[in-house]
Structure 1
Amino acid sequence: MSRIRVAVIYGGRSSEHSISVVSAGSVLAALDPERYEVVPVGITPAGQWLLTEADPSSLRITGRTLPEVEKGTAVVLPADPTSAHLVSVDAAVGMSVLESFDVVFPVLHGRFGEDGTIQGLLEMAGLPYVGAGVFASAAGMDKEFTKKLLRAEGLDVGEFVVLRSAQAWSLDDVASLPLPVFVKPARAGSSVGITKVTDWAQLADAVAEAFRHDHKVLVEAGVTGREVECGVLEDADGRPQASVPAEIRLVRGHDWYDFEAKYLDDACEFDVPALLPDATTAALQEAARRAFVALDCAGLARVDFFVVPGGASDGGDRIVVNEVNTMPGFTPISMYPRMWAASGVDYPTLVDRLVQAALRRGSA
């Protein structure tokens, strides 16, 4: 039997470019070469598409140096459902049809990758792909609408205020929120552009920093609780299954889970699975599945929570949904694959299940 050709698209024109590159290295290494023929496609920070010869071992963080897409043959993907091919636009190669493929794994985080844009291109091109569709990707990327949809589902999302760059705002708009607050771009990830504000005198600078990354900003009330995540993965019948939850604990040098703590400073320890009461674990898993369905996700998602011990009205643990990530990190330290490994699904099997789910949806 011929192998399935998988285009792994990574990098991208977003502030999370380097994390996408690292994630892609892990996915490329995990795809079984006896079943899959990989077509690696990198997108530069400027947005140029390149057919690469990516060595998975080179797609990693070295010290504090972040990798990025730089070299390859310039290509484009036509939005033509009659031909799933990359077309060379490289002067050295000339205009020609290059690689074709059966399915796409868009290992892209942030804008132009996780926000419904590339999903729309792949829909137009008639290509099956891993992960959420256009709507769910856009809704999951936009924290305002994530929270609105989850709140409509009856899930606790905490208190927040939305600011827009085109509209005047003042301290009065947010002063009802208790300090500390977190100021963040509405459509970014990996903690990029986020500031913890402990004094209202810091607010203007924090909002300005967030506006550097997006024209819409969320100011969220801080929740004092345990940071817990839960993975969701579709089974063979398309039903969302929840992994064991995992807890992130900051142990050195940081007072919140920022970019440096996540990727550069070895500042965290992880409990996989999280050490929680059985009832809290079950409630988290149910909330993760409900969030997945509320956003109309597909394939996979990682749902991030705060767990406040004894904070619920009935004296139980309060469970607050923080975010829904429709294409969570796949780096060697990323929580999504680690949670599924602890749930009995190892990394190669996880990647295989995601690709197979995409192929089933594409043939439906």
Structure 2
Amino acid sequence: MTKRVRVGVIFGGRSGEHEVSVNSAKSVMQALDKTKYELVPIAIDKNGRWLTGESYLQLRDAEAQSSYDASLGESKEASTELSGQTTPEVLKSESGLVPNHVINAIDVVFPVLHGSYGEDGTIQGMLEMMNLPYVGAGVLASAVGMDKVFMKRSFSAFDLPQVQYTSYSRKAWENNPDEVMDDVEKAIGYPCFVKPANLGSSVGISKAKDRNTLKRALNLAVAYDRKVVVEQGLDAREIEVAVLGNDNPEASVPGEVTPSNEFYDYRAKYVDGDSVLTIPAPLTPEQTEEIRTLAVRAFQAVDGSGLGRVDFFVERTTGAIYVNEINTMPGFTEISMYPKLWQATGVPYPKLIERLIDFAIERYQEKEKIKTDFSLGE
């Protein structure tokens, strides 16, 4: 019998996207072909503790049920049920990272982590130090893709079309709020979108229509990051494309998001459930081809690998296409846009996971060809 590949699925994390990560990981773990892969679930709680994944999920499910039952006036029974759950084992090691017996049990890592400490190059750097293959972007692409300021600068270097934007530090906002708002009004105008530079899932994003809403938006954004980005607001359609691969990436068919709210914020994405995803997006053949080409170029601009979702604006009045951003670890539940786009392109969810694992191993093997010693006698 062929030995199964041991896949360490890491999920949770310390970022504001913890809940999204847990839901993505559940979908991945359920879809893994158990005849090919052996699952090694590892959770990171909101305090940064590394825990055994299965018992952590059981505890979380019980906590969620406890909260729900408490709202119905059944907290006593719920707390009793919760107290019977197995407490997750904390993974300990002298280095404070992952112990050797866990590392040795893993052939490849699937870090289903979104946002800070998971999608920004930090855990990727740790996995590089451990010499483990892992799914998704490397350290550089993760860091650049996470920081919207440097991401946009990378796009500019590849001559990718973008909306007008500017950025500010938290310190600049705290020290000179009127000066910052004056600058936004002069450089960008209204409406505009204010975003934390290093976060995803639309956490901390607001639309500003005047000076008062701009002030509230900036106060919200700096609560989530030390840098903020302010972008020109357009009357535009929101188009998304999934990219898959390493050195020769492919783009999926485009999809269109019609948000339930004024824009595609966190509530529209994860709470209301009323946003409409249209796949394939109703675009002309020429628009479709241009967007797919730009998606691959945006992926290459940050030196992406494995997967990425590239988001676009298509201005309603002119049809102009703008690259908005790349997400190097997009939401990964079966109903998330990234898997749905590949489903529509002919790659079902379980096969998509398998291809991502294969790409992770391929990239690792390519990296292993790099010489790490040097002799003057060569």
Pick the TM interval, shorter chain. Answer: 0.7 to 0.9
Q: How many residues align?
A: 340
Contact 1:29 1:56 (8 Å CA) reproduced: no
Q: In the alignment, is residue 275 of structure 1 matched against residue 282 of structure 2?
A: yes
Q: Distance in 1 between matches of 2:329 and 2:224?
A: 19
Letter in 2 for 1:73: E
Alpha-carbon distance change, 241 to 277 in structure 1, aligned in 2, over 3 angstroms: same
Alpha-carbon distance change, 297 to 53 in structure 1, aligned in 2, over 3 angstroms: same
Deviation digits for residues 207-265 of structure 1, max 9, x if unmatched?
Answer: 11111100101111112110000000017xx3110000000112x4x211111110111
Deviation digits for residues 13-60 of structure 1, max 9, x if unmatched?
Answer: 000000000000111011100000010001001110001216989988
Contact 1:79 1:125 (8 Å CA) reproduced: no
Q: Distance in 1 between matches of 2:50 and 2:92?
A: 6
Q: In the alignment, is residue 188 of structure 1 matched against residue 199 of structure 2?
A: yes
More strand by share: 1
Alpha-carbon distance change, 39 to 78 in structure 1, aligned in 2, over 3 angstroms: farther
Q: Distance in 2 between matches of 1:200 and 1:215?
A: 21
Q: Distance in 2 between matches of 1:78 and 1:123?
A: 19
Residue 86 of structure 1: how far off its partner (Å): 4.3
Contact 1:28 1:56 (8 Å CA) reproduced: no
Q: In the alignment, is residue 247 of structure 1 matched against residue 259 of structure 2?
A: no
* Runs of 5+ unmatched residues, structure 2: 69-85, 367-378
Match of 1:92 in 2: none
Alpha-carbon distance change, 232 to 221 in structure 1, aligned in 2, over 3 angstroms: same
Match of 2:184 in 1: 174
Contact 1:52 1:71 (8 Å CA) reproduced: no
Q: Distance in 2 between matches of 1:203 and 1:263?
A: 25
Alpha-carbon distance change, 268 to 164 in structure 1, aligned in 2, over 3 angstroms: same
1:331-342 mapped onto 2 (5 Å cutoff): 331-342=333-344
Q: In the alignment, is residue 262 of structure 1 matched against residue 273 of structure 2?
A: no
| TM-score (structure 2 length as normaliser) | 0.84
Deviation digits for residues 306-355 of structure 1, max 9, x if unmatched?
Answer: 111452xxxxx311111100001102321000000000000000000000
Match of 2:123 in 1: 118
Q: Distance in 1 between matches of 2:46 and 2:348?
A: 31
Q: CA RMSD in A?
A: 2.5
- Comparing 103-112 with 217-226, greater Cα deviation is found at 217-226
* Runs of 5+ unmatched residues, structure 1: 89-95, 312-316
Q: 2:295 aligns with which of 288, 292, 315?
A: 288
Contact 2:169 2:226 (8 Å CA) reproduced: yes
Q: Distance in 2 between matches of 1:202 and 1:71?
A: 45
- Comparing 149-158 with 280-289, greater Cα deviation is found at 149-158
Contact 2:56 2:88 (8 Å CA) reproduced: no
% of aligned pairs identical? Answer: 46
Letter in 2 for 1:143: K
Match of 2:369 in 1: none
Letter in 2 for 1:31: L
| TM-score (structure 1 length as normaliser) | 0.88
More helix by share: 2
Q: Distance in 1 between matches of 2:295 and 2:348?
A: 20
Q: In the alignment, is residue 75 of structure 1 matched against residue 91 of structure 2?
A: yes
- The structure having more radius of gyration, on CA atoms, is 2
Q: In the alignment, is residue 213 of structure 1 matched against residue 224 of structure 2?
A: yes
Contact 2:242 2:342 (8 Å CA) reproduced: yes
Q: Distance in 2 between matches of 1:62 and 1:157?
A: 41
Residue 78 of structure 1: how far off its partner (Å): 7.8
Match of 1:350 in 2: 352
